[in-house]
Structure 1
Amino acid sequence: MSKEKQKKFGKPKSFSNYSDSKIDPLQKTSLLSRIFGNQKKLDDARKTFFTAYKFESNINPLRIITLLLLLSVILGLGMFFIERNNERIYKSWKYQGISSIPPSNISNFDQVIDFSKKEQLSNCDSWDPNKLLEGECDKPISYVNEMNETQSRSQILYIFQFLLMFLLFFPLGTFFHRSLRNIKTLRYETSVSPEKSIVWIYFSVFLYFLAVFISKFISKDFNVSFSIVFLSFLFLSYRLYKTFIEIYKGSLIEKSNRLFFIFTNKFKIWFISYLSILFFNPSIITRFWAYELNNIDDLITATKLMNYSSIVIIIFCFFSIVLVAEIYKLQEIKNIKVGSITVDPLQ
Structure 2
Amino acid sequence: MSKEKQKKFGKPKSFSKYSNSNLDPLQKTSLLSKIFGNQKKLDDARKSFFSSYKFESNINPLRLITFLLLISIFLGFGMFFIERSNEKIYTNWKYQGISSVPPSNISNFDQVIDFSKKENLSNCDSLDPKLLLEGICDIPLKYVDEMNSTQSRSQVLYIFQFLLMFILFFPLGTFFHRALRNIKTLKYETSISPEKSIVWIYFGIFLYFLAVFVSKFISKDFNISFAIVFLSFIFLSYRLYKIFIEIYKGSLLVKTDKSFSILTNKFKLWFVSYISIMFFNPSIITRFWAYNIGNVNDLADATKLMYYSSGVIILFCFFSVVLVAEIYKLQEIKNLKFGSITVDPLQ
Residue correspondences, number: 332
1:123 is aligned to 123
Contact 2:18 2:29 in 1 (8 A): no
1:134 CA drift (Å): 1.3
- Alignment TM-score, normalising by the size of structure 2: 0.90
1:27 is aligned to 25
Contact 2:245 2:263 in 1 (8 A): yes
1:111 CA drift (Å): 0.6
How does 1:73-152 map onto structure 2 within 5 Å?
A: 73-152=73-152
Residues 1:44 and 1:59: Cα distance change in structure 2 (over 3 Å)? closer
Letter in 2 for 1:245: I
Moved more, 97-106 or 128-137: 128-137
Residues 1:134 and 1:53: Cα distance change in structure 2 (over 3 Å)? same
Return the alpha-carbon distance in structure 2 between the equivalents of residues 19 and 318 of structure 1: 56
For residues 284-320 of structure 1, give each alpha carbon's deviation from its aligned partner in whole angstroms, at most 9, with x where no partner exists. 0000000000011100110000011000000000000
Return the alpha-carbon distance in structure 1 between the equivalents of residues 170 and 11 of structure 2: 54
Contact 2:18 2:31 in 1 (8 A): no
2:48 is aligned to 48
Residues 1:17 and 1:85: Cα distance change in structure 2 (over 3 Å)? closer
Contact 1:113 1:125 in 2 (8 A): yes
Could you tell me the percent identity over the aligned residues? 74
5+ residue gaps, structure 2: 1-9, 34-39
Letter in 2 for 1:122: S
Aligned partner of residue 68 in structure 1, secondary structure:
helix
Aligned partner of residue 346 in structure 1, secondary structure:
coil
Return the alpha-carbon distance in structure 1 between the equivalents of residues 190 and 11 of structure 2: 56
For residues 248-305 of structure 1, give each alpha carbon's deviation from its aligned partner in whole angstroms, at most 9, with x where no partner exists. 0000011332111110000000000000000010000000000000011100110000
2:175 is aligned to 175
1:44 CA drift (Å): 7.5
Contact 1:58 1:179 in 2 (8 A): yes
**Following superposition, which runs of at least 4 residues in structure 1 exceed 3 angstroms of deviation?**
9-21, 32-37, 41-48
Residues 1:20 and 1:280: Cα distance change in structure 2 (over 3 Å)? closer
Residues 1:111 and 1:50: Cα distance change in structure 2 (over 3 Å)? same
How does 1:179-194 map onto structure 2 within 5 Å?
A: 179-194=179-194
For residues 92-138 of structure 1, give each alpha carbon's deviation from its aligned partner in whole angstroms, at most 9, with x where no partner exists. 00000001111111111111111101110111012122321111100
Moved more, 312-321 or 129-138: 129-138
Aligned partner of residue 144 in structure 1, secondary structure:
helix
How does 1:1-347 map onto structure 2 within 5 Å?
A: 12=13, 15=16, 27=25, 34=30, 46-347=46-347
Aligned partner of residue 343 in structure 1, secondary structure:
coil
5+ residue gaps, structure 1: 1-8
Return the alpha-carbon distance in structure 1 between the equivalents of residues 59 and 346 of structure 2: 27
**RMSD between superposed Cα atoms in Å:** 2.4
Residues 1:144 and 1:54: Cα distance change in structure 2 (over 3 Å)? same
- Alignment TM-score, normalising by the size of structure 1: 0.90
Return the alpha-carbon distance in structure 1 between the equivalents of residues 12 and 98 of structure 2: 90
Contact 2:19 2:31 in 1 (8 A): no
Residues 1:18 and 1:280: Cα distance change in structure 2 (over 3 Å)? closer
1:6 is aligned to none
